[in-house]
Amino acid sequence: MPIVKSISAIPESLTGFSEDELEGLLRVMGEPGYRARQVRQWIYHGLAESFNEMSDLPLALRERLAKEARLHSLTNMREVTGKDSTVKTAFRLAGGNVVEASLMSYRRDSGAPRYTACISTQVGCAIGCPFCATGQQGFERNLTTGEIVDQVLHFARCLRKVTGENERSPTGRSLSNIVFMGMGEPLANYDAVWKAIEILNSPGGFGLGARNLTISTAGLVPQIKRLAGEKLQVGLAVSLHASENRLRNRLVPINRKYPLEELIPACREYSRVSGRRPSFEYVLFRGINDSLAQARSLAELLRGMTCHVNLIPANATGDASFRPPPRESIVAFALELKRLGINATVRQARGQDIDAGCGQLRRRIPAGEKTRHRQDKMMGE
């Protein structure tokens, strides 16, 4: 977004503005630069839900902002909480689209729980993975930066109510991590996602450390290479799910464009340039990719790379073809990887009783409650 020259017809909520853009907007309104700092403080630390809450701004300015600008971009449409305290929220966007995000809590042996927000970056997804509820719904549009940031702020407000923090406390102490692993392919919406990361990381914004932010991708090679050169050291998680092209073409169709012969070298380059350890997400499906032979093939594919493998038992999406393996098969797969020198863990399933898997809550919302606005299925390259 360019530096604001006119306040009229602002398409983005203020949560999508960089620090320079917000200051430019306030200057256009005839306000001194420090007003932008006050507004940011209210948005990211006061977690204000309305301009009226910004009590240290002049009343005339609050009234003008309320009339001519949008503070936030999401409406909470439906929210459910699971037995393990996972919260799944469906949001309505301007125009009627629906997107969802999750908040997961992880108990520790000592100290406060760790909270992770799983954030969406697109309405639907164009990758088309057959086991993914979002992929089965198709692609509608990219989210704006403000729509991405607002998901995080929603969960920060939820945590404030739970933890009882006062409005001057840094929100990052409650929200430990943000993962861009919800609906959509984050790297297909690169510019909006990266701007959101800069806002969420900035000391003048949400103030969460870059190493507490992780971007997931199905394997868009050019964007992985671009990410490697960014200054902020965010994490990279690659949805792999197979160690040979024939099977991965089926499970992750973007593999036909960026096969393993291109993807794995790009991940090695990311690790070398950024100095960070990529992780590989491997969803285990019974009788499809869960054999010990496939574990050995995966270990060979990743040999010599400093990385981590997250093994994820499949979520039910209504397709009986993609079922989780029995527990003993999952454990055997993990042990075989470790025996061959690959760092691997089995991810704890979260929110299964509330369909917390990507796209599952949105799929349950009756069609009459949603307005679909399909756009060209651009991959954002």
pLDDT exceeds 60 at position 370 = no
Catalytic pick among 12, 100, 147, 336 = 100
Q: Which residues on neighbouring strands pair with residue 356, listed in sequence order? A: none
CA dihedral 38, 18, 71, 183 (to 10 degrees): -140
pLDDT exceeds 80 at position 112 = no
Q: Which amino acid is at 246?
A: R
CATH domain 74-369 topology:
TIM Barrel (3.20.20)
Nearest Cα residue to 67 out of 26, 8, 150: 8
pLDDT band at 50 (very low <50, low <70, confident <90, very high): very high
- Which range has the worst mean pLDDT, 173-177, 317-321, 343-347, 372-376? 372-376
pLDDT at res. 82: 84
pLDDT exceeds 90 at position 352 = no
**CATH assignment of 14-68, given 1.10.150.530, 3.20.20.80, 3.40.50.880, 3.50.50.60?**
1.10.150.530
| Every domain of the chain and the residues it spans | 14-68, 74-369
- Which range has the worst mean pLDDT, 267-276, 291-300, 366-375? 366-375
Told to judge if 307 belongs to the known catalytic residues of this protein, a careful annotator would answer no
Phi, psi of 264 (to 5 degrees): -65, -45
Whole-angstrom distance, CA of residue 124 vs CA of residue 286:
26
Q: Which residues on neighbouring strands pair with residue 312, listed in sequence order? A: 283
pLDDT band at 377 (very low <50, low <70, confident <90, very high): very low
pLDDT digits (tens, 9 = 90+) for 284-325: 999 999 999 999 999 999 999 999 999 999 986 656 789 999
pLDDT at res. 85: 82
pLDDT digits (tens, 9 = 90+) for 7-25: 554 568 999 999 999 999 9
**What is the three-class DSSP state of 76?**
strand
pLDDT digits (tens, 9 = 90+) for 217-227: 999 999 999 99
Contact 234, 210 (CB under 8 A): yes
Average pLDDT over residues 317-337: 90
Q: What does the DSSP 8-state code read for residue 143?
A: P
Structure-token match 């010599």, residue found: 304
| Verdict on whether the full-model pTM lies above 0.75 | yes
pLDDT digits (tens, 9 = 90+) for 159-188: 988 766 554 444 445 899 999 999 999 999
Catalytic pick among 125, 129, 132, 358 = 358
pLDDT digits (tens, 9 = 90+) for 120-140: 999 999 999 999 988 888 999
Told to judge if 358 belongs to the known catalytic residues of this protein, a careful annotator would answer yes
pLDDT at res. 316: 66
Whole-angstrom distance, CA of residue 94 vs CA of residue 213:
26
pLDDT exceeds 50 at position 340 = yes
pLDDT at res. 354: 46
Q: Which residues on neighbouring strands pair with residue 284, listed in sequence order? A: 313
Q: What is the mean pLDDT of the chain?
A: 88
